[in-house]
Structure 1
Amino acid sequence: MQAADASDDPLVLASAARSGTHALLANGRYEAAMELGDATARWLAPQVEASDPAALSLLGMIHLRAAVAAARHQDRPTAASLLSRAAALADELGSDENYWQTGFGPTNVLLHRLSIELDLDNVAYVVENGRINVDHMPQERSVSHRIDFARALSLAGLGDDAFAELRKAERTSPQLVRNNPRVRETLRDLTKHSPVTAGARSSEVFVMAQRCRAVQ
């Protein structure tokens, strides 16, 4: 953030702030993540008013990450407000783009909405609306969606569908899947229902759970 500030370029600073929100979220500092989002909106105001697509994308992603922070803080009104702001920016951008490696656009807003509903325990909404084509999205975003969707399917008792989503995600990016805590949590749930042969678990679910270090 200090180096970005020294560049005297609002877009560089906003990009650093986006990384900052990820770090704050990872450390459970939800309120600080939302405050950083508000600051970024002020920095980018002139560029956003001029409909600069890079500024729209960076601010849109900041709002989406801040919305996730609010949801994890169980603050639905704030999460909904931030999602609405991001959706307006995505509508202005008009399509799924990848300025500054954001992958921002209408689809990413929808994917974040699903992730937020999962954080707010609205499993039924995610199951009903989660079948989205994410093949054109950046790898990290498409994999994250499949992981979230699998979690919702598992919680809804749809174990086979949940495992299918995890396998698709793993084929796309083994590293992202095998190091994800939500994947491990879902696999632990799925292994409780996996078949047992000759006293040992032998299902594909259990084998994947071992790969992901969800079980010993």
Structure 2
Amino acid sequence: MASGVRQPGLKHATPALLSVYGTLFLSGAMAAARANDATTTRTFLATADQAAGKLGGDANHFLTAFGPTNVAIHRVATAAELGDLQVAVDLGPRVNTAGLPIERRVRHALEVARAYSSWNRVDEAQAAILDAEQIAPEQVRHHFLSRQLALTWIRRQRGKPSAELVGLAQRLKVLD
């Protein structure tokens, strides 16, 4: 495990304990990334990754959706938060979220869209949101990130927005 992190009782931890423990470090990694603390972010991701390795695969104990895939999702999200868009854009689309709950799958797709958009790859960003909308239209429709991205794209248009973008913006209720 990462240096400086205490691990009482993890030698014989149950899968549920490993899931909660790892999820706490994923939350900490996001908080550290938002505070622009790359060292703590890496430490917390490494600790979560080791807990996921001990768990042995993806699981959903206590609705955590914790496991190696969720750690990979958080690597993408923290990279984007820290401004490392190359990592987010390279790793994000390769993470196979098919075995995770829909909420995690959609949230990851939105994070990938945000990374693409930040790198001015708007077509790929829109495609990621449209794919997520196929999985869970209500979740995409009401999520602040999808709405924020669509509104940004509409505002940045120099000419008439594409029919696909207008349709998305209307479904997200950011355009009349």
Interval containing the TM-score (normalised by the shorter chain): 0.7 to 0.9
The aligned counterpart of 2:172 is 212
- Whether 2:149 is the aligned partner of 1:186: answer yes
Q: How far is the alpha carbon of 1:171 from its aligned partner? A: 1.6
What does residue 107 of structure 2 align with? 144
CA contact (8 A) 2:150 2:169 kept: yes
Larger radius of gyration: 1
CA-CA distance at 1:94 after TM superposition = 1.2
Alignment match, 2:15: 53
Residue 125 of structure 1 pairs with residue 83 of structure 2: no
> How far has the Cα of 1:100 moved from its partner?
1.5
CA contact (8 A) 2:98 2:105 kept: yes
1:136–1:194: structure 2 CA closer, same or farther, 3 Å change rule? farther
Match of 2:123 in 1: 160
- Which whole-Å deviations, capped at 9, do the CAs of 1:109-139 have from their partners, x for residues lacking one? 0100100111111111111111122111111
Tell me how far 1:174 sits from its aligned partner: 1.9
Matched, 1:108 2:66: no
Residues 194, 205 of structure 1: 8 Å contact kept: no
Q: Which amino acid aligns with 1:109?
A: V
For residues 111 and 61 of structure 1, what CA distance do their matches in structure 2 show?
12
Deviations 1:61-94 (A, max 9, x none): 1110111111111111111111111011011111
Aligned AA (2:18): L
Contact 1:61 1:102 in 2 (8 A): yes
**How big is the shift at 1:49?**
2.8
Q: 1:166-210: CA deviations, max 9, x gaps? A: 0111121122212222212211232233862xxxx5511122112
The CA RMSD measured in Å over matched residues stands at 2.0
- Identity rate, percent: 33
Mean CA deviation greater in 146-155 or 130-139? 130-139
Cα distance change of structure 1 residues 55 and 147 upon mapping to structure 2, 3 Å threshold? same
Question: Residue type of the partner of 1:85?
Answer: T
**Corresponding position of 1:170:** 133
Aligned counterpart, 2:57: 95
Question: Match of 1:8?
Answer: none
Aligned residue identity for 2:140: V
The alignment's TM-score, normalised by the length of structure 1, stands at 0.72
- Counterpart-to-counterpart distance in 2, 1:99 and 1:122: 31
SS in 2 for 1:49: coil
